[in-house]
Structure 1
């Protein structure tokens, strides 16, 4: 029933209750206390009627959805009735110099009983006699805490929601067999498969915002044993502040199952490096570069320079940041190729950045095996151009985005990135610029990563292609990698190769199976096909080789490696000969040198 139709009905009902209650109170006490005169009784009744509607309006009794009434609604009724009785008592005292406490006391009790009963009876009727929409999906809520009960309440309240809660599970044994809004807590998380079958569950909602990634994966493993679709609740802060509603319950993503916990950044040290500074990001249109730009924007630089070779990707990140930070700092898109040495030096001279994040690179391993000269031009000569421009023009901090594939590389891409590291390590020895490199593994969802490929294969009906059943990789989310890159840059003293803690390596085949399940299919429906290792591909990746291991973390999830570079003179002699080599010579030379253990002591090692 609409509000306009419901309002007059509630007003008429309450008016009848108010007038009836005071006269009933009067006639109950009349044989024993013949103190009321009829004029005073009518004045009291009219005052009570007026004051009730006044306080009912103040406490919004006519705006509440009484089919979901609870303690909060009962409290509002008690307040409205109490204040209306109190105002009537004041009128009696002023008009007749007396307050008839017993009559008003009985009237108060009748008000609360009859008004409360009229409201709560609709909830009882709705809960017990009105069946839910049969088209709604029967839902199991994991977590019977504050978030879970909020989900249940809002799903019950929202007639447009697709989900209808029929059961809870919670690992707290004291909640088992209890009912919340008439919904029973039926067991623990390990009971999920059985509960789903017994209660014909279509959807599972994990409603524990404080859950750790390890606990999340454990619960999801139980959910994955069922045919029910699994979803997860947004952050409880977002629900409370109104940023999102229960309707924004989202599907579980692969990122939720990584088993990695977010860390708190040292905001003060990062702010000192970035706030009010001019920051240049190369490769700003790429997956990592664009996320670095987003993270930097939070620290209010004076200028953010978005440098990239592809105009479409630079346009996209430029427009995104302008929409969000249009008046907070200056955003300057720059179309430039890092292989163009003159252009790079001109950009550095024009804008004089304080900090450079060098994310531009060719990173696709098999493609670079087929195109080694392009890998050399971009990853080695491009890095040299940007780094030497930063050195000559007095940039304060330079951060190279490197990769775990630079460790013992059997391929062109990894070896060119190791050469890039050695370029900035050698520059760091004699430059006023603080040069550092940051290594990490695969980034979930980045361009060229397995996740977008697997999703396309699932959409096409399968099969998913995995190169080998035992192949493993380290994974990190794009925002996490970008935040740690910025944090590592703030820790720089010059010459370090920072290594991000990637957690435990993940089997690609397990990642494929999870993604299939998350997409609502079974592994048997989609299928997994093993295609064999591709050119230049390793069975497993390393973040540090045996000579580079340094166990102490300088910041949570950040280590300093002890990667030893080739001497500057020898390194540059090799670099100058690279343009003259053919593809086979390039691979033999680069891979050989990148895997050589040099005896020269590094500038760094510990902080």
Structure 2
């Protein structure tokens, strides 16, 4: 496990679902951390989060108001920071479609600001959060996150003599995260109808704990430039609706702007750079600052077959209605009953 003793770590978007889960994990497993900085722009969420972590019990926790659009603020926040986890983003697909310039400013401009701020300070390791929608994107959100991925991967080429590593983690829908389908269905259940975009729709599924574990894995093991992808299960949107509201009517409302029927995380074009690490896949950069043979030997990495793709609709591992119910109770709502 990564030793955070006497280290300082900053999380952009730290008041979001994953940011809060990371905070809980780090404080529980690495209470000796020197400083954990929550960087976000929402003062109300910071105030609420601070109530959960009183200063007298968690003196290592700091709250820093700021926006990733503001590079100077990022530079100040990263003073004395060793590790950065970049989780801040605009992520709602329809909102991004309607407000493209705002999405670009945060997801692309903000990503470049994080890169620049890390390079101008003494940060050692950076992990940026991506999304399955960044793979062969058809919506603006996915396109901005693909661009963000490229910025973080390429940052390794301009670090010069600095001992810093930039990497990316890409995964599917985080179960129970803010704005995701399961909390939405749980709230709509009382109306007796659940809106289904397309009866064939599938998604990858990962728990908050799984997302946290993957970020910490990348923070500890990345050599620089990797895009890590977990081997996870898929679910059918109709099974999610049945799991939550078995007696509810499922009303087909049509696909939203910029939405896919199935999500991808690795395309056939990526296969020439994709390696199987056992628990994860990783897409390696076309150019890297370390020796490929050393990487393969260290992680027992095996190149996937040419044309390999990883798609939620073609996945071989699936959640069932029953497994979804158990996961909802465990990870989303402990009071969930049918």
TM-score, normalised on structure 2? 0.80
Q: Does structure 2 conserve the Cα–Cα contact (< 8 Å) formed by 1:547 and 1:562?
A: no
Q: Which residue in the other structure is 1:438 paired with?
A: 169
Larger Rg: 1
In the TM superposition, what is the alpha-carbon distance from 1:322 to its structure 2 partner? Answer: 3.0
Asked if the contact 1:376/1:416 (under 8 Å) is kept, the reply is yes
- Aligned partner of 1:499 among 226, 229, 243: 229
Distance 1:329 1:560, change over 3 A: farther
Secondary structure, counterpart of 2:91 in structure 1:
coil
Query: What's the offset of the Cα at 1:536?
Result: 0.3
Residue-by-residue CA offset, 1:506-525 (whole Å, 9 max, x unaligned): 111111101114xxxx2xxx
Structure 2: distance between partners of 1:475 and 1:382: 27
Which of these residues, 315, 318, 327, is aligned with residue 47 of structure 2? 315
> Which of the numbers 530, 535, 545 marks the counterpart of 2:267?
545
1:179-217, Cα deviation, whole Å (9 max, x unpaired)? xxxxxxxxxxxxxxxxxxxxxxxxxxxxxxxxxxxxxxx
1:563–1:516 Cα change, 3 Å:
farther
Contact 1:468 1:533 in 2 (8 A): yes
8 Å CA contact 2:225–2:284 kept in 1: the answer is: no
Rounded to whole Å, the distance in 2 between the matches of 1:468 and 1:562 is 34
Residue matched to 1:385: 113
TM-score (norm 1): 0.46
1:603 CA displacement: 5.3
CA distance in structure 2 between the aligned counterparts of 1:553 and 1:314, rounded to whole angstroms: 39
Alignment equivalent of 1:419, drawn from 131, 147, 158: 147
SS of 1:537's partner is coil
Question: Superposition pairs for residues 152-301 of structure 1, below 5 Å?
Answer: 267=1, 270-271=2-3, 274-297=4-27, 298-300=29-31, 301=33
- Are 1:514 and 2:236 counterparts? no
**Which whole-Å deviations, capped at 9, do the CAs of 1:436-477 have from their partners, x for residues lacking one?**
000000011111100111011102x22100100001000111
Residue in 2 aligned with 1:84?
A: none
Shift of 1:332: 0.8
Contact 1:548 1:563 in 2 (8 A): no
Contact preservation (8 Å) 2:274, 2:284: no
What's the counterpart of residue 366 of structure 1?
A: 94
| 3-state secondary structure, aligned to 1:435 | strand
Partners of 1:302 and 1:329 within 8 A in 2: no
The SS at the match of 2:210 is helix
Structure with greater contact order relative to length (CA < 8 Å, sep ≥ 6): 2
Cα separation, 1, equivalents of 2:145 and 2:215: 16
| Equivalent position SS for 1:307 | strand
Find the aligned partners of 1:497 and 1:430 in 2 and give their Cα distance.
18
CA distance in 1, matches of 2:281, 2:54: 35
**Match among 445, 460, 468 for residue 198 of structure 2:** 468
Per the TM alignment, residue 429 of structure 1 is displaced from its structure 2 partner at its CA by: 1.7
Query: 1:539-578, aligned counterparts within 5 Å?
Result: 539-549=261-271, 552-554=275-277, 556-562=278-284
Query: 1:527 aligned to 2:256?
Result: no
Would you say the 8 A contact 2:11–2:19 is kept in 1? yes
Structure 1 equivalent of residue 187 of structure 2: 456
Whole-Å separation in 2 of the counterparts to 1:536 and 1:602? 33
Aligned mates of 1:542, 1:276 — CA distance in 2: 39
RMSD: 1.8
Aligned to 1:116: none
CA deviation after TM superposition for structure 1 residue 551, in Å:
6.4
CA contact (8 A) 1:497 1:561 kept: yes
Q: For residues 400-452 of structure 1, give each alpha carbon's deviation from its aligned partner in whole angstroms, at most 9, with x where no partner exists.
A: 01111100000100010011111111111231310000000001111110011
Label 1:603 to 1:408 Cα distance change in 2 as closer, same or farther (>3 A). farther
Q: Deviations over 1:385-412 (max 9, x none)?
A: 1111011112000010111110000010
Tell me which protein shows more helix as a share of its residues.
Answer: 1
Q: State the distance in 1 between where 2:50 and 2:212 align.
A: 18
CA contact (8 A) 1:322 1:331 kept: no
C-alpha change, 1:563 and 1:414, in structure 2 (3 Å) is farther
- Structure 2 unaligned runs (5+)? 297-338
| Deviation readout 1:209-230 (Å, 9 max, x if unpaired) | xxxxxxxxxxxxxxxxxxxxxx
Runs of 4+ in 1 over 6 A off after TM superposition: none
* Contact in 1 for aligned 2:275/2:283 (Cα 8 Å): no
1:359/1:470 Cα in 2 relative to 1: closer, same or farther (>3 Å)?
same
Within the candidate set 485, 504, 509, 2:215 is matched to 485
Q: Is the 8 A contact 1:294 1:321 kept in 2?
A: no
CA distance in 1 between counterparts of 2:22 and 2:269 reads: 30
Equivalent residue number for residue 339 of structure 1: 69
- CA distance in structure 1 between the partners assigned to 2:211 and 2:131 by the alignment: 11
The Cα of 1:499 is off from its aligned counterpart by 1.1
Superposed displacement of residue 484, structure 1:
1.5
**Cα deviation, residue 563, structure 1:** 5.7
SS at match of 1:362: coil
Partners of 2:13 and 2:39 within 8 A in 1? yes
* Counterparts in 2 of 1:393 and 1:375: CA distance versus 1, 3 Å: same
Distance across 1 between alignment mates of 2:279 and 2:122: 30
